[in-house]
Structures are given as C-alpha cells and as structure tokens.
Copies of this chain bind each other. A is one copy, B any other.
Amino acid sequence: MSDEIKVFCPATIANISCGFDVLGVALDAVGDEMTVRKTSEKGIRITKIDGQELPMATLKNVAGVAGLAFLAASDYKGGFEIEIYKKIKAGSGIGSSAASSTGAVWAMNELLDKPFSTLELVQFSMEGERLASGVAHADNVAPALFGGFTLVRSYKPLDIIPIPSPNELYATIIHPQIEVKTSDSRKILKTTISLSDGIKQWGNVGGLIAALFTNDYDLIGRSLEDHIVEPIRSILIPAFDDVKKTAIQSGALGCGISGSGPSIFAFSKGLEIAEKVEQAMKEIYKNIGIDYDIHVSKVNLEGVRKI
C-alpha cells in the first residue's frame, strides 16, 4: 500500500426537488481535490487548505472531524495529514463540506486497505456535516461516496439505496454569489406540512425513482416538483422564479434548489440542452447584476475517486 493518495471529491446536489432530505446526486465536472498521507503521529492534521479561507484546526474542519470519527472506529495506530484543494465554494449549496469530509475518510480507508464499508464511511462523513450545519445529514455525503443518485431511506438505522442514472442526464448548476447558511435556511422551514402536500411529495418521489430506473426523462421532469420546501426557501434566492422558468423554457426537464441553496440546479437530457440552459440562466443574473459561478456536468457514477 502507498502511504499517500490524491483524490477527487465530487460536488453533489441534495434535496432534489421532491426528495427533500432523502435524494442526492454526485456531479462529474465539479469537485475538490485532496491529498491524504499516513503519519506515525496519531490524530488528524490539516496541513494545507488551498483556494479558500477555512479553519485548519482539526476540530473546526469538516474533514478533520470526519477523519476523527474514522480514527475512533479504526484500530489503526497512526494518524493522517490532509491537504485540501478547494474548488467548491463553501455555502454554495452543492455539498462543499460533504466533498471534504467524504474525500478525507474515503482516502483514509483506501490507505488502510478498506477496513470500512461505504455505508460506514457515510456515517463518519456525517460527523463533518454535523459540524457544518448542526445536523448530521447524509443526502450529500451518500452520493459523494456511492456516486450516482442515492436515496437515504432511513436514518435510524441508516439505510442508503443507490439509484441508477440515465446516460444522457446532465445538470446545470448556477451559484449566485450570495450567502445562505444551511442553518438559516433550515430555520425558515415549517415543522408541519399539510397531508395533501405530503401525498403529492411522496407521489413525486415515487415517480422520480421509477423514472431513474426506466430512463424516462419526461417522468423525471414531471416528478421534479416540490410543494413543501421550494416555495419557502426560494424566497432567499434572488430571481429564483425567473431562473426556473427560463431553464424550463430552454428545454430543461426540471429545476429546483440545490441543497439549501443558493445554487439552483436544472436537469436536462443531453449536453446541448444543458448548455442552452446554462446560457439562459447566466443571462438572468447578468441582467440583474449578480455575480455567479455556473457548471454543466454529467452525473458522476463513481463517487470519490483516486486521481
């Protein structure tokens, strides 16, 4: 075994419209890179963070905290050093913290010859999510580790179901440069919903899962509805309704909030439409003078990988 590994940790879209808190997908074209190496010294040290201002202290860094959860469950006597090359902006809503925490634990698991299952790695990574947002959610870390789409069927016990992804499915993700903290965007949610909205939501989740199994792009589009969270959270995102309308007019199958925002994702069939959607989304923010990052990406079927 080598003592050092370099990994690509994909960005992810969670809370996919109807799939609030349960459905996520990994991206191919956006992600962080990390170098992780074994050390004889115990514990986790973050030795470098490139590309962003983030805490280096192990207990304040999501990769550090996830790594400590890994070490606590492992019988390995040494420790790890981590270098993080951030490409995903913190607070963008495309799984920045999940990329760092999954990259760290996946790399460590490789360096120790895979003592843990992917499901166990999800659990370690969730400790990073707890640090980032106050809630140990799994809907970004699961797709980052498994690749493709994943369903978090249950938290107690943790039950992750990998879901197939149609070949020509592309995501366009635009990140308007405003800050929405995950913890804030959780606070504005209501704690109760109407039964009738609930029924719509689980009908759509069922439809979306069926669509992903049958490569039914139209059904993907019809199922990308959210009557519960989007109407509330979209208020925090400038021009959300315009961006969504424009994306659909440009041919997108559907469009919604990525994670807890402010990024907005659209799914399209084929690269050509995804790029049309990209142009249309850009125009909206150009016109109102808001800076943005934008990505077009295939679904990443592999999850975190060695590079």
Contact = CB atoms under 8 A, between A and B. Distances in A.
Most chain B CB neighbours (cut-off 10 Å) among A189, A190, A203, A204? A203
B199 A22 contact: yes
A206 B219 CA distance: 15
A205 B206 CA distance: 6
A117 interface: no
A206 B21 contact: no
A227 to B, nearest CB: 11
A22 B203 contact: yes
Interface stretch (A4-12, A40-48, A153-161, A168-176): A153-161
B201 A198 contact: yes
Contact of A161 (B201, B210, B228): B210
A210 B207 contact: no
A292 interface: no
A223 B255 CA distance: 28
A191 B193 CA distance: 9
A159 B202 CA distance: 13
